[in-house]
Amino acid sequence: MFKHRYTLAASFLWFVAAAGRCPAQGASANLTVLFDFSSSDTGNGYTAYAPLTAGEGGILYGTTALGGDADGGAVYSMTPPATAGAGWTEKVIYSFPRDTADGVELFYGLAVGPGGVLYGATVQGGPSNCGTVFELAPPSSEGAPWTESTIFLFDCGEGGNAPRGTLAIGNRGQLYGVTQHRGSGGAGLVYELRPPDTVGGSWTEKVLHKFTGSPDGYQPMAGIVEGPDGILYGTTQAGGTPVSDQIGRGTVFSLAPPKTEGGEWTETIIHDFGETREDHGLPLASVVLGDSGVLYGSAFSQSGTVFALYPPASPGGSWTEDILYAFQGYPDGSGPKGNLALGSGGVLYGTTSAGGTDGWGIVFSLTPPASPGGAWSESILWDFTQGADGAIPNGGLLFIQGRLYGTTSLGSTDAGPSGGSVFALTP
């Protein structure tokens, strides 16, 4: 079942674009660049494509696709100021070498496990250059280095190739993730990594689902989200119902755990973007879990949309999609790639990788209607200019105590374009 709502805000933005005028940013929005990755010092990291992850003590963690001491990408921390008026402190806690022995190309975020251990995936690297999963253990004493371990190597076989997205950590310490390739016909898969039973043992991979293309999903690009009942949720960028004799425009799926240990997981396609053209398709970000089991997400195709998926009223029923907002392109946003953040009062926050006045992307909010059945309203909280505020926010947002945190993959310094920035924005 499908519902579509064009909001008054969308109509207004369409009129403004036609008139060649730009809508104002949120009047109270205040963006602060916490760190600028300088192209003159790639040891700090370069190309901040991934979202941030919150750790203990207000510390934020992130990755850069390139740079670091060995130019294979870096994992960094952002420590908040100890005193009022001081700045945040960026520190590279691990640099990946630019070879295939270790992982390279960190395009995705990190998961924080027990004891502050960080987990992530590299798209390439390893002996077969098919990607890796790694862990970073915090130092045992002040000033000591973090300890990196490669806990799994993909071999381009049926266990997967090119892991994508931020990992999810299950309630027993297991890791859930996706790969873009291999599986049935190279369509990608969902995997689980189980921790070793004894210290020093090996992690074990179990493939939970292999995608088949159509009518199943094809090549997932975003991470997995685990619900409170152990059900996994995710997206595929393509697959589903074929459109114009081509592979479909993507899906949202669920994977239900087996009822008995060792059984098979059950996949359900809860939304198929090929069934209608109004929601555009090509979802590149993970979904976000809201109240009452509602899923929120975005689709990239054309200028992009933000959608909600409502669970069935009774077991076995169909999920219901509602398009909350359709982006219009300049001077509105265009091309959402990063994950949404759910704020107070059910407000959704997100970024678009393009659009805005100069085409460098925006930060936006979507406020739910005051009464059921009403329209959601969009506000542009920040319009990037590739000035000192950075440009092209790809990684999505964190919402912490009323403040938004994010990254841009490009930025600007006095010397010219840089490798991005870390920013905070108060709506």
The answer to whether residue 100 scores a pLDDT higher than 70 is: no
For residue 423, how many other CB atoms are within 10 A of its CB?
A: 26
Asked if pLDDT for residue 204 goes beyond 60, the answer is yes
Position 312 scores a pLDDT of 94
Average pLDDT of every residue of the chain: 87
| Region 314-334 average pLDDT | 93
Residue 15 confidence (pLDDT): 30
Q: Region 317-342: what's the mean pLDDT?
A: 95
What average pLDDT does range 163-191 have in this prediction? 92
Q: So what's the pLDDT on residue 25?
A: 46
Q: pLDDT grade, residue 43 (50/70/90)?
A: confident
Q: Is the pTM of this model over 0.85?
A: yes
Q: What is the mean pLDDT of residues 47-70?
A: 92
What is the Cα–Cα distance from 68 to 136, expressed in whole angstroms? 16
Whole-number Å distance between alpha carbons of 43 and 390? 19
Token readout for 111 is 């998961």
* 278 neighbors 268 (Cβ within 8 angstroms): no
| Contact between 311 and 296 (Cβ < 8 Å) | no
Angstrom distance (rounded) from CA 145 to CA 128: 28
Q: Are 160 and 176 in contact (CB under 8 A)?
A: no
Strands (E), 147-291: 147-153, 161-169, 175-181, 189-194, 204-210, 217-218, 225-226, 232-236, 238-239, 251-256, 266-272, 288-289
pLDDT(184) > 90 = no
Q: What pLDDT sits at residue 67?
A: 85
Question: Is 90 exceeded by the pLDDT of residue 217?
Answer: yes
**What is the pLDDT confidence band of residue 1, given thresholds at 50, 70 and 90?**
very low
Structural domains of the chain, ranges and CATH numbers in brackets? 2-426 (2.130.10.10)
Residue located via tokens 């105590």:
401
pLDDT at residue 219 is higher than 80: yes
Residue 118 and residue 61 in contact, taking contact as beta carbons nearer than 8 Å: yes
Q: How far is CA 426 from CA 207, 227, 341, 349, 396, in A?
A: 41, 29, 14, 11, 15
Closest by CA position to 213, among listed 244, 189, 191, 192: 189
Q: Which residue is associated with the tokens 């059945």?
A: 373
Report residue 23's pLDDT band, with 50, 70 and 90 as the boundaries: very low
Virtual torsion, Cα 296, 291, 254, 53, nearest 10 deg: 70
Residues 6 or more apart whose CB falls under 8 angstroms from that of 265 comprise 190, 208, 209, 232, 255, 256, 257, 258
pLDDT score recorded for residue 405: 98
d(CA 300, CA 315): 31
